[in-house]
Chains A and B, each alone.
Chain A
Amino acid sequence: MQYDEKRLTRIVATDCGSTTTKAILIEWIDGEFRQTIRGEAPTTVEAPLNDVTKGVINATQELEELARLKYHNPNIKFMENGEFVIPRKGDIGVDAYVSTSSAGGGLQMMVTGVVASMTGESAERAALGAGAIVMDLIASNDKRMNHEKIERIRELRPDMILMAGGEDGGTVKHVVEMAELVASADPKPRLGSGYKLPVIYAGNKDAREEIVKTLGEKVDLIITDNIRPKLEIENLLPAREKIHNLFMEHVMKQAPGYNKLMEWTVGPDHEQVPIMPTPAAVGNIMQAISKEENIEVVGVDIGGATTDIFSVFTKDFIFNRTVSANLGLSYSISNVLASAGLENIMRWVPFDINESELRNMIKNKMIRPTTIPSLLEELVLEQAIAKEALRLAFEQHKSFASSLKGMQKQRDISEAFSQSVSGETIVNMMTLDLLVGSGGVLSHAPRRNQTVMMLIDAFLPEGITRLSVDSIFMMPHLGVLSEISSKAATEVFRKDCMIYLGTCVAPVGKSKIGKPALYAKLELPDGSVFEEDIPFGEMRLIPCEIGKVAKATLKTHSGLILDADRKKEITVDLHGGVVGIVLDTRGRQPFVLPTDKNERISALKKWMKALIVYPENILS
């Protein structure tokens, strides 16, 4: 159901995260929707409070107080007697309240399939796309023995299981065998023991009868369309919808206070607006940007515990989401060190530091996750760790976001010698139009230039790519808001949420340090002209305001290329942003940092100075 601005003049949206409940106020002002005020309070799903609505009330109270101050009107109130007043009557109440949630660990799922890289992966894609954390993928062909699989299922205690396997008319035996393993593990749901674990079956339709026989009495079995009816067809939507319904009906109802919260989230006519898992809401927004502007998008949300990556690629707008459950900057910071290795972190640090000191610093952040870097050196180190967390999460995403594996592909003679195979990644950095960053370390970096540097170093965009950041982390709110007003969500997204940082131009290929790499002539909106033949191994920052465009002539040397057509010379409009236009001639495929420590440190300092990333004193 969609409403227009006459029915929606004031909306409260919250995101109940594992540690903080973030509330924003959206209002219809002077003929447009704007996000006007933001408040937050600790989330209250744990003892002693055990009721998520307490945190929502606290965050909303902060909104009310700030609204009274902003409009010099002591009568403004959104809630009365601890509940939202809907619809709004003058100063009192709001027209809608919507919310997302990842509190209490979000939605945790286990998926099963027959072949891990085929039906198993499709099941994983469906679960991730619905906003879940996939705790494990169990397949007939994974290397574990059956008794190990049973033990694993038993110890996981997921919120629900999604079972796939077999194309329609294909294997029944393997699918039923997997159901037998699930049945004998007799898994229990994570929250509450008073209900049966929901299991969605989305496999071979010929096996349904046997699946009901095997599992029907032990679990709450829901049957839906096959996720992979044929090898070359993936049909994720019916399973995703079932996951969303079950999330509301089962999981949310078990979480403390959610029964009440679910009654609260309503539109102006008091019809329910379902609470959405936070990543599902962010996914909605990413897909909406991509479709509306007809562009390819990569988005990232880096948190304290997990990093989510979203992408929309190809002309069919294929959407993928991955969550790296143990890559983050506070709770999971130590795991970034364990996964990336100390050397990979140190390669981004423009000074020398004792290894033991760095390791202890990282561990101290892990055990005291809410502390913030007060010293400049510590900020530089945290941002170096962020680059590695982002890089690792993106690597996982690239290998997951692929064309369907196991397909027979007919090739003509021109393709016979090419390397293309099924299961190749569809992430193409050269055709990517927009990279969106979000999450504390990116949204709240003291200088936006630091955000630009982190995004470029971690994602290594190729050719011409626009960069942006979620100003105050409101993509989840807007994702769920779009359920009742896509107009409000889009307007606020453009005006208040998305901050364009600028554009990165990065020729692809290899050359020698100092050899001419990129001739760039930029006619800037203020009438000035930037012109330089930039050598290989350099970075340049050319200020160009947000909303403005520079007319650029770009010409590469030494076999470097600038776009998917392998062009070496192009004339193009480059969009500005709060940071500006970055010309990066450090090379791609490969991107190489000097191996000698002193050379590396001096190169890092040179680039960081060029992009004005840190104060001079730490770079001299």
Chain B
Amino acid sequence: MGQAYSAGLTVTDSIILRKERILPLKGQVLVKKGDKVKAENVVAETLLPGKVIPFNLANKLGVTPQQLVNFIKIKPGDKITKNTVLAETKGLFGLGIMKTEVLSPIEGEVENISSVTGQILLREPRIPVQVKAFIDGLVTDIIEDEGVIIENKSAYIQGIFGLGGETFGELKMIADSSDDELDVAKIDSSCAGKIIVAGAFAPYHAIDIARKNGVKAIITGGIDDQDIKKLLGYDIGVAITGHENIGITIVCTEGFGRINMAQKTFNLLKRFEGYKTSIHGRTQIRAGVIRPEIIIPLQFEEQELVAKEVTMPILEIGTVIRIIRQPHFGRIAKVTALPEELTKVESETLVRVLEAEFEDGTRIIVPRANVEVIES
């Protein structure tokens, strides 16, 4: 076989991006097709239903569920405030002596009253939710009542793993080279509100100092698993992240441990130092894969917004690859042969392999499953 498909992460200085910005429930879209938006602009908003508070009114009143109807003062759909009388007994001899009143514990509305269980459901006021544009760009489509599509031209890097949600800020290089460790001495108040770039590694104490200095996000080659445990207070079980509330967003471009940032990624970030950048750490490595993204919007003309057809990266002779498992984890090589037959590797596993050459001319044999294509 002369070629094969292989997964890879995108790192490019120019791509046409198309982002759906959708509300969790139907609501109101605040912009129109053709509008130019900034990352920080709110593009759609809605009101989420409030929390439901159930409680047993019949019990509180000391009557059976069937009797409740005689004492109740409200009906489904009624608006209530805190201390609205929900139900009251008539008291002794119907004179109001020793009567029992049940007051609403919340402000909101009455959702349901059950004569079987005597339970009522009250709903707290609605909670407003807003969706921001997240990237500077052009609104190219509106999904009625749900959200918008925003497109732009960007320099774009997919990370391998991240923590923390969406944010944006100016890109600032801290590392001088892709094998640097994030230097605490270089993190000060000038980093506040910025997205800073480390090289091969960001240790816990440096992340902590960055957080204290108001840094919005860190981009690093590698990170240590135990440092993540320290940051979160728990061990990550399944890689579904992005919701962490740690006061900073972190995007890893290579993986766990100390791993040099791929030179291409490092150079790209360096080239765009000072640019406004959007970033998120959302990662999901099961069905519906989501990877963290670093998006650096560029100037563009509307007619440029034509997305290239999606192609699967192909492994063939001459393809540049990155090795993504030991041995040689993180190193870059060029494919020299793609033998068809299964080959036994050190672990005695019979696998499809490829032959590749490092820059210094040494040759290796690697399982095809353990490489990713670096797209040019």
Contact = CB atoms under 8 A, between A and B. Distances in A.
B235 A337 contact: yes
Interface string B222-247: 00111000000001111100000000
B347 interface: yes
Given A374-B346, A379-B347, A379-B349, A360 B257 contact: yes
B376 interface: no
Given A176-B114, A374-B349, A331 B238 contact: yes
Interface in B248-264: 255-257
Given A360-B224, A374-B347, A367 B161 contact: yes
B7 A370 contact: yes
Residue in A42, A361, A615 with the greatest tally of chain B CB atoms within 10 Å: A361
- Size category of the B interface is 35 or more
Contacts of B237: 326, 332, 334-335, 338-339
Interface in A315-332: 326, 331-332
Contacts of A597: none
Interface in B305-364: 310, 324-327, 329, 345-351
Contacts of A615: 348
A363 B256 contact: yes
B185 interface: no
B119 A360 contact: no
Contacts of B369: 370-372
B95 interface: no
A364 B111 CA distance: 48
Contact of B325 (A45, A331, A374, A446): A374
Given A338-B235, A374-B370, A176 B117 contact: yes
A180 B112 contact: yes
A105 B288 CA distance: 10
A146 interface: yes
A248 to B, nearest CB: 20
Contacts of A285: none
A360 B114 CA distance: 54
Nearest to A45: B287
A246 to B, nearest CB: 21
Interface stretch (B46-54, B168-176, B186-194, B295-303): B46-54
B346 A376 contact: yes
A376 B326 CA distance: 11
Residue in B51, B255, B325, B345 with the greatest tally of chain A CB atoms within 10 Å: B325
Interface string B108-152: 000110101101010000000000000000000000000000000
A369 B285 contact: yes
B154 to A, nearest CB: 19
A376 B235 contact: no
A150 B325 CA distance: 44
A177 interface: yes
Residue in B160, B226, B237 with the greatest tally of chain A CB atoms within 10 Å: B237
Interface string B267-294: 0000000000000000101111100000
Chain A contact residues: helix, strand, loop or mixed: helix
Interface residues of A, number: 58
A184 B121 CA distance: 8
Residue in B287, B326, B327 with the greatest tally of chain A CB atoms within 10 Å: B287
A414 interface: no
Contact of B255 (A332, A334, A368, A369): A368
B366 interface: yes
A363 B225 contact: yes
A45 B287 CA distance: 9
Interface string A29-54: 00000000000001001101000000
B324 A375 contact: no
Contact of B236 (A183, A334, A371): A334
B255 to A, nearest CB: 5
Nearest to A339: B237
B116 A375 contact: no
A374 B239 contact: no
B27 interface: no
B367 interface: yes
Nearest to B345: A374
A447 interface: yes
Nearest to A368: B324
B367 A359 contact: no
A184 B108 CA distance: 15
A356 B222 CA distance: 13
A302 interface: no
Given A331-B286, A360-B256, A367-B285, A210 B116 contact: yes
Interface in B63-100: 65
Contacts of A146: 54-55
Given A176-B117, A364-B255, A378-B325, 9 more contacts: A173-B117, A176-B116, A180-B117, A183-B112, A332-B237, A335-B237, A338-B237, A371-B367, A374-B346
15 contacts: A146-B54, A172-B116, A177-B117, A180-B119, A184-B111, A331-B285, A360-B255, A363-B161, A363-B236, A365-B325, A367-B160, A369-B285, A370-B369, A374-B370, A376-B348
